[in-house]
Amino acid sequence: MSKGPNANADFQNQYNAFKESLQQLSRKIGEIEGESEEHKLVLETLQPMADDRKCFRMIGGVIVEKNVKDVQKDLETNFEQLKKVTDQLMQQYAKVQKEMKEWQVKNNVKVVQQ
């Protein structure tokens, strides 16, 4: 990039874009981890109960009657999927963070204030 006021603005815009990406990923990771914790708590609560006991679950705003065994199976599947998504987002976060560091080194960008 060329030097001058436009270059500084370009650097600032690129830096802001990196930071925004990292913040969005961080928020999404937090949301999914919270949802995962909720699943874990429900699974722990259902664990000591009889498999054939009546159980209600909200799916898309509709309350559905099932038994504990079926709900546990569904929640375990969802819990595993949430863990996979969290891992993928964490990898993506690390990748963006690495790209940002490489960009800073390549363009000799020093962060003055965060």
- CATH number of the domain enclosing 75: 1.10.287.370
pLDDT at 3 over 80: no
**Residues of the chain above pLDDT 90, percent:** 82
**SS3 per-residue string spanning 20-68:** HHHHHHHHHHHHHHHHHHHHHHHHHHHCCCCCCCEEEEEECCEEEEEEH
**Has residue 113 been placed in a domain?**
no
| Structural domain range at position 81 | 5-106
**Has residue 80 been placed in a domain?**
yes
**Has residue 91 been placed in a domain?**
yes
pLDDT at 1 over 50: no
Q: What is the pTM of this model?
A: 0.83
Domain count, the chain: 1
Cα(85)–Cα(88) distance, integer angstroms: 5
If you average pLDDT over every residue of the chain, what do you get? Answer: 93
